[in-house]
C-alpha cells in the first residue's frame, strides 16, 4: 500500500495543473490532501469523485480557506472529521479514515505567523497540535496509525535551507520544534528521516518567488508520521519534488 500526503494549495487550482493525471500515474492507494480551500460542491465531478476513488472532505466553515480530504482506492470503514473542539473544527484541519485496524489521518497544522507576521498564532498552532496528539495517542493502542500532512514546522536545521536566518520565524521557533520533538519522543516516527538519516536538501515547500524552488531553497514541513506498530510496516519513505501543481510537493510511504 502506498500512502501519499500533499498540500495542494487550493484543489481547484491544482486540478488545472495535472491533479487528475497525478491520481492515475503515481500508484497511490490513499491520498491525504491539505489546504483544499473549497467546499466539495465547488469542485468539478472529476476532482470531487474521480473514477476508482472514494473521497471524503472536511472543509473549513470559512470559504476558500484551509480544508482537508482523503482519497482512497478502497472504501474506508469509517470517517471522522472533528476533534470535538469547535475552535479547531471550524477550520477544517483534521480528517481520519479507518481501514480495519489501521487508521490514516490527514492534518493541516495552522501557521503560527498570524496575519501580521508577528507569530501571534503560535499558541493556537500548539494547542491544535496537542489536541491531535491527544486524540491519536489513544487511537494508536487499537492498531497502526499513519498521520500525514502539513505540520508547518521544520524540526531540525537539516530540514530547511537557511536555518540561521529563520530562527525567529514561525515554522522554526524553539517551541514549535519542541512540540515536534514531543511527538517523536513519545514513539511517533518521522518516516522520511528514518529512511534518509542525515541527508540534507530534501524539502517539501518553497516560496513562490525569488527562484526558491528552482534553487531548492525550501523547508521540509510536510511529514508522514507513524505509530510504532505502523512504522514497522514501512518499506520506503519518499518526497517527490518533481511533482508540480502546488508550492508544496507530495511526500509518502510504501507499507507492507
**Close Cβ partners of 133 (under 8 Å, ≥ 6 residues apart):** 182, 183, 186
Q: Quick one: cell of 115?
A: 496575519
Tally: H helices and E strands in the chain? 8, 14
Q: Check 29, 116, 150, 236 and give the catalytic one.
A: 150
CB atoms near residue 78 (< 10 Å): 11
Biggest distance spanned by C-alpha atoms of the chain: 47
By CB atoms closer than 10 A (0-12, 13-18, 19+), residue 249 is: buried
| 150 counts as catalytic | yes
Cα–Cα distance measured from residue 247 to residue 204, given in angstroms and rounded to the nearest whole number: 8
- Tell me the C-alpha distance between 97 and 105, whole Å: 6
Please name which of 208, 206, 202, 232 lies closest in space to residue 217, comparing C-alpha atoms: 206
Known catalytic residues are 150
Amino acid at each position: 500500500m502506498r500512502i501519499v500526503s500533499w498540500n495542494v494549495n487550493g484543489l481547484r487550482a491544482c486540478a488545472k495543473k495535472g491533479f487528475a493525471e497525478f491520481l492515475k500515474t503515481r500508484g497511490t492507494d490513499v491520498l491525504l490532501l491539505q489546504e483544499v480551500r473549497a467546499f466539495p460542491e465547488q469542485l468539478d465531478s472529476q476532482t470531487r469523485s474521480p473514477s476508482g476513488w472514494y473521497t471524503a472532505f472536511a472543509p473549513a466553515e470559512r470559504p476558500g480557506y484551509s480544508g482537508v480530504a482523503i482519497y482512497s482506492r478502497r472504501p474506508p470503514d469509517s470517517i471522522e472529521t472533528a476533534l470535538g473542539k469547535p475552535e479547531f473544527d471550524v477550520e477544517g484541519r483534521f480528517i481520519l479514515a479507518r481501514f480495519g485496524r489501521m487508521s490514516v489521518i490527514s492534518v493541516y497544522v495552522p501557521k503560527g505567523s498570524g496575519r501580521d507576521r508577528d507569530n501571534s498564532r503560535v499558541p493556537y498552532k500548539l494547542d491544535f497540535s496537542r489536541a491531535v496528539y491527544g486524540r491519536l495517542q489513544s487511537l494508536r493502542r487499537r492498531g497502526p496509525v499513519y498521520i500525514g500532512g502539513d505540520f508547518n514546522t521544520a524540526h531540525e536545521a537539516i530540514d530547511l535551507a537557511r536555518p540561521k536566518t529563520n530562527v525567529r520565524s514561525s515554522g522554526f521557533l524553539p517551541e514549535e520544534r519542541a512540540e515536534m520533538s514531543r511527538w517523536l519522543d513519545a514513539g511517533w516516527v518521522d518516516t522520511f528521516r528514518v529512511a534518509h538519516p542525515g541527508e540534507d536538501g530534501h524539502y517539501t515547500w518553497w516560496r513562490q518567488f525569488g527562484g526558491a524552488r528552482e534553487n531548492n531553497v525550501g523547508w521540509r514541513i510536510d511529514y508522514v508520521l507513524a505509530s510504532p506498530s505502523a512504522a514497522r510496516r514501512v518499506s520506503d519513505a519518499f518526497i517527490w519534488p518533481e511533482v508540480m501543481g502546488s508550492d508544496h510537493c507530495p511526500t509518502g510511504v510504501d507499507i507492507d
